[in-house]
Structure 1
Amino acid sequence: MAHQQVTVARIYLREGEHLLSKLMKFLHDEERVAGVTVLRGMSGFGKDGKIHTASLVDLSLDLPLVVEFYDEPDRVDAVIHKLVQQMDLGHILTLSAVRHRKDE
């Protein structure tokens, strides 16, 4: 089994910011990162303290989103630098990880 050091980046957004399409296009078309997943939260709050939540009765259109991607550490650092400059993203977290894959 092959192992590779990677960095995982998590970008925290809200649907109401309307940045997801632009962010996905950037990560896929321009930067071609190794993989991206978008998670839609059921509930959450940011530094403004306002709780954003969904219920069966009232489906909010301003729920929390987490956009997660990974790649080689240097590539992730470069991508994050561009994202912060171009989209003014302020809630980004990075984690070191090991990618495991079957030898080819």
Structure 2
Amino acid sequence: MQIPRQAMLLRIFIGEDDRDNGRPLYESIVLKAREMHLAGATVLRGGMGFGHSSRLHTTKILRLSEDLPLVVEIVDSEDKINAFLPVLETIMSSGLVTLEKVQVLQYGSAAR
């Protein structure tokens, strides 16, 4: 699989407790991206953050970890990312979705 040098980065900010039909939302997003043959997806967990509600989510010791922030990043061609957006809309009820143009320098192993 190839990604064009000029690609798009889809970044999805959600919470660890967000769900899609009982399944963790981040899992649904990654599995759907894989099903649609996107180049790859990565889920990153944040140690602290807040969103629309301004409620602070943190991993501090004195508080139980509650609904930690997650970021799902997907990089692929603009066409493939644009085809994924309507699907994303059907499984997300809240969160923040951003897009930005990126330059892909390497994808996969270098030819030897």
The separation in 1 between residues aligned to 2:101 and 2:94, in whole angstroms, is: 20
More strand, by proportion: 1
User: Secondary structure of the equivalent of 1:8?
Assistant: strand
**Unpaired runs of at least 5, structure 1:** none
Structure 2 alignment gaps of length 5 or more: 20-24
Offset, 1:95: 0.7
Contact 1:8 1:97 in 2 (8 A): yes
Give CA-to-partner distance per residue, 1:15-69, whole Å, 9 cap, x none.
Answer: 01131221121111x2121121111000000111100011234441410000000
Length-normalised TM-score, structure 2? 0.79
Richer in helix (by share) = 1
Kindly indicate whether the alpha-carbon contact (under 8 Å) linking 1:9 and 1:92 is maintained by their aligned counterparts in 2.
yes
For residue 74 of structure 1, report the CA deviation from its aligned partner: 1.1
Match of 2:59 in 1: 54
Is the contact made by 2:58 and 2:66 (CA closer than 8 Å) also made in structure 1?
Answer: no
Q: CA RMSD in A?
A: 1.9
Q: Does residue 96 of structure 2 align to residue 91 of structure 1?
A: yes
Between 1 and 2, higher relative CO (CA 8 Å, sep ≥ 6) is seen in: 1
Identity of aligned residues (%): 33
Aligned residues: 101
**Paired position in structure 2 for 1:6:** 7
The residue type paired with residue 70 of structure 1 is V
